Amino acid sequence: MNDMAKNLILWLVIAAVLLTVFNNFSVDTAPQTMNYSQFVEQVQNQQVRSVTIDGYTISGERTDGSQFQTIRPAAEDPKLMDDLLANDVTVVGKEPEQQSLWTRLLIASFPILLILGIFMFFMRQMQGGGTGKGGPMSFGKSKAKLLSQDQIKTTFSDVAGCDEAKEEVEELVDFLRDPTKFQRLGGTIPRGVLMVGPPGTGKTLLAKSIAGEAKVPFFSISGSDFVEMFVGVGASRVRDMFEQAKKQAPCIIFIDEIDAVGRSRGAGMGGGNDEREQTLNQLLVEMDGFEANEGIIVIAATNRPDVLDPALLRPGRFDRQVVVALPDVRGREHILNVHLRKVPLADDVKPSLIARGTPGFSGADLANLVNEAALFAARRNKRLVGMDELELAKDKIMMGAERKSMVMTEKEKLNTAYHESGHAIIGLVVPEHDPVYKVTIIPRGRALGVTMFLPEADRYSLSRQQIISQICSLFGGRIAEEMTLGPNGVTTGASNDIKRATELAHNMVAKWGLSDEMGPIMYDEDESHQFLGGPGQGGKLKSGETTTRLDKEVRKIIDGCYAQAKQILEDNRDKLDAMAEALMKYETIDATQLKDIMEGRDPRPPEGWDDPSSGAPSAGDSGSQAAPEAPGQADGDENDDGPRRRPSDPLGGPAGS
């Protein structure tokens, strides 16, 4: 049923309702009603001039001109006619209404026609013939959302931080605009483009910008929209989606999170007859089967290309992979410029400084940073977003929201101050460690305190010395507690530090080949268990003796780093006490104050800080001041029961402390 028919039926229903209402509220003068005995009495008294008999109803006119109506109790009353004629009453008979043959047939057949209509409606829906995509039986219809060329306003100017990926897809735009440019030389454009990259890097935005630049229709659907509990529904939706796309060609089909339907076949239970594999088979046929889909370009996005079926990645299907990686410092600056155009900015905002201080941030993270800064400015009733708000937003995203209402005893605060000071001093002393950016004992997120390290440049790999230095700094908090509280006073605050240090040491030995004892051999299995035994056979390289040697080597690295870190803190005990005292006083200290402490000077107060002893309120946190002039990658440490957001490590292990 199309929209015109639905509108027609709606207006007919409205007209019928209005007609009924008008009839019920009619202002016509109704005749006076009286009982039958009064009627007979008035006839005998010659007060009635004429009557009209219509079955049981008798209506008429009195001699004074008034109208009346009555109901006789029986269909036949022979004496009534004698009385009417004897008293000179004019009698008019009314012929009963007769229904036509067609009316009687329609009334008799209406229930049967209604049942047949309902039956045909449901049969049509079950066969996928309904045009509505939200009907109760329209399982086989595609859920892809169509955006016309007029609805897509996104262009390449809205995409930043992925210049190489944009260059890869620019020829798709040229092909969609002028296919003959390639066809006259015998060239064909890739039928499928697979965009690979971490979440939030702009894969969907880039696909949308292709359609915006080429001015072609854009179908958008998620991989999970194909799969239902009924076998064959996903395949039907794939067929329907490509049928719709053929009508709109040239066009783009964008499938987000294609790994939901494109996983390797044969890896699960139940053979090849499950719903997901049937859907994948249909997708493979539609992309490159007997029937060519000219003018349809399929773009898919995933952050897990390793689990996709090989048949999906072969030439003729997704034969081009575009890597949309995390942006570098220049890309982050361009992304920030795109998002900062949407908010009013103060004169002190420097996107380059923010970009250098946010390594590991994706495009979505940077958009969130700008939005958080705008919210901070709104809470302060400011008209412009300044550098202070952007720094606060960056700290909130990296370290978590401040929990100033959290009640901590002085003993807990002092222990946290020593814990974070231990991390910071080790990070400042050991070689090749990232510079310390900020230390705070204000609870953030799930952490009681945070030590932030910012690398001086984007980091894509780790050296052995860098990993050793990270392990040393991770143990700095626990060692500081042990030095100040004694062995029995050590708290559970270092649980996450111990976990990360152990993972780093284990990866050095078992994954990265950074142990002289174990050699450059990978001892850990990967996710698909493809060592020696082949796919799915769970082949292993570790015997019981090898496992014991691995454990000993990991323990050797941990013990060496622990001893090195302890010696550093013992040699700098005066600086440890001074830093803890500064944290108790200011709650947050930055690189400038850390430099003062390490050089033996009293730390200068943070900018905008008022001494509580003077009676003025304390700012408590220096997080609102501008970042130091040596920004870089943000990282930090925790002193409680859970991890915070941190950039992913290119080597697969956790990012450094």
Domain segments of the chain as ranges: 31-95, 145-323, 329-399, 410-636
Identical fold, 329-399 and 410-636: no
CA distance 190 to 184: 16
Q: State yes or no: is 420 an active-site residue.
A: yes
| pTM, two decimal places | 0.62
Dihedral angle, C-alpha 87, 88, 90, 96, nearest 10 ° = 40
Are 124 and 130 in contact, with CB atoms under 8 Å apart? yes
Say which of 420, 481, 587, 638 is annotated catalytic.
Answer: 420
- Looking at this protein, which amino acid is placed at residue 572? N
Q: Kindly give, in sequence order, each residue whose CB lies less than 8 Å from that of residue 266, ignoring residues fewer than 6 positions away.
A: 272
Per-residue pLDDT, 98: 63
**Please, what is the end-to-end C-alpha distance for the chain in angstroms?**
63
Annotated binding residues for Zn(2+): 419, 423, 497
Annotated binding residues for ATP: 197-204
> CATH number of the domain at 145-323, please?
3.40.50.300
Which residues on neighbouring strands pair with residue 340, listed in sequence order? Answer: none
CATH superfamily, domain 410-636, is Peptidase M41 (1.20.58.760)
CA distance 602 to 296: 68
The radius of gyration of the chain from alpha carbons, rounded to an integer in Å, stands at 41
Q: Which residues of the chain have pLDDT under 50?
A: 1, 27-28, 128-137, 139, 269-272, 527-539, 614-657
- CB-hemisphere CA count at 13 Å for 423? 33
Per-residue pLDDT, 132: 44
Annotated binding residues: 197-204, 419, 423, 497
- Using CA atoms, how far residue 111 sits from 51, 107, 108, 116, 383, in Å, is 41, 8, 7, 9, 69
Phi/psi of residue 152, nearest 5 degrees: -95, 115
> CATH number of the domain at 31-95, please?
3.30.720.210
CA distance 307 to 9: 51
> What's the CATH architecture for 329-399?
Orthogonal Bundle (1.10)
Phi/psi of residue 243, nearest 5 degrees: -65, -40
Per-residue pLDDT, 552: 92
